[in-house]
Amino acid sequence: MEMKYISVKVRSAFRTCMQIFEALADGLYDTFKVIKYTSGWWKGYELERIEPKLHAAAHVLEKGMSLPDVRLGYGASGLRSLYGLMNAYVKSGFPPNRLAYQNAISVLHAYVAYHKEREHDVNEVKKRLTQYELSCDQSLEAGTVGFPLEEYRKLATGNFEQLAQSRFSIRAYGPEPVRREDIYKAMEIARKTPSACNRQSWRVYWVRSKKKKEEILKLHNGHRGFGDTIESFLVITADIKMIFGTAERNQVFVDGGLYSMSLLYALHYVGLGACPMNWCVRYRKDKAFHRMLDIPDSEAVVMLIAVGSLPSEVIAAKSERKAVDDILKVVE
């Protein structure tokens, strides 16, 4: 009996050691892939590396036009970054008709037009544009899109195509507080989100405390220009305890991401403005965030969603999307 008990303990210790080894191996595998595909500065510019940077740099300027209190002439550092990327793109001989480059030109045109309407001089941007506009696709119209409140609400409650096509990241909110029943209704709709083996590992923290919101803003970097107007936050987490071993190490983010998208559609449907905010931070900030909201260590933070009521006129960044042919690969 005693030997059998020892044998069980030995087998248990062996399994634990194997799990530790597998976790380390999988962690190193993921880490080296990140290093290999994100920090290859020695290779110079590659199309696959520069295009997402162009999209991101242009989006920083574009979303600035949708903020509630825009400082005219904003984005000096963002403009310098975008110019540098566009110049590198041209010097590298990449095709000028690609969406990332054309969208950057269109955003600069929208930036100039936005300031012209408000009689603010941005001559330096106009001068820069002369370097790029010969290859400009006139069909692209970056900038912002606006809806009267009732029209926006009507689109949100139409068929699914209307709902999906009319959802925007909202960064300007109305004065009314977010109603508890609207959050509950949105979460009730999102309950049907699929997950691995129906495990439903997601959790939601609705942060309404002014003090906690201020603490979140100190930790998060993506709220410039609208953070102080956010009425509340929804923090989406997923419980690591619900996965089965290291082979499923990414499943919490898959399931949590699926739920987050369902919730964003549902928030739009119930008439609330929402903006997804990533949680890409180093471990110190992540640990501080867990402590601040008393989130169990076993729960991975997937994303934050800023939530507020809608204003009388909804203004949002257009954020041009890639064509289906650019993202679809048919395997036969």
CATH 3.40.50.720, applies to 145-316: no
pLDDT for 221 equals 80
* Top-confidence range, 37-41, 171-175, 281-285: 171-175
Q: Taking a C-beta distance cutoff of 8 angstroms, is the pair 274, 307 a contact?
A: yes
pLDDT for 246 equals 76
CA–CA gap between residue 80 and residue 75 (Å, rounded): 9
Q: Tell me the two tokens of residue 218.
A: 């100190």
Q: Tell me the two tokens of residue 104.
A: 């950057």
Does residue 200 have a pLDDT over 80?
A: yes
Q: Going by DSSP bridges, is the β-strand pair 202-207/232-239 parallel, antiparallel, or unpaired?
A: antiparallel
Cα-trace Rg, the chain: 23
Mean pLDDT for the stretch of residues 229-248: 88
CA–CA gap between residue 47 and residue 203 (Å, rounded): 38
CA–CA gap between residue 270 and residue 172 (Å, rounded): 17
Residues 6+ apart with CB under 8 A from 31: none
pLDDT for 39 equals 61
Q: Tell me the two tokens of residue 142.
A: 């970056």
Confidence of residue 42 (pLDDT cuts 50, 70, 90): very low
- Mean pLDDT for the chain? 88
Q: Taking a C-beta distance cutoff of 8 angstroms, is the pair 50, 82 a contact?
A: no
Structure confidence by residue, pLDDT tens digits, 239-278: 988 887 777 888 989 999 999 999 999 999 999 999 999 9
The domain spans of the chain are 42-142, 145-316
Structure confidence by residue, pLDDT tens digits, 264-314: 999 999 999 999 999 988 888 899 999 999 999 889 999 999 999 999 999
Question: Residue 105 CB: number of other CB atoms within 10 A?
Answer: 22
Find the helix packing angle between 47-64 and 99-117, rounded to 10°: 20
Structure confidence by residue, pLDDT tens digits, 82-141: 999 999 999 989 998 889 999 999 999 999 999 999 999 999 999 888 877 666 666 678
Does residue 198 have a pLDDT over 70?
A: yes
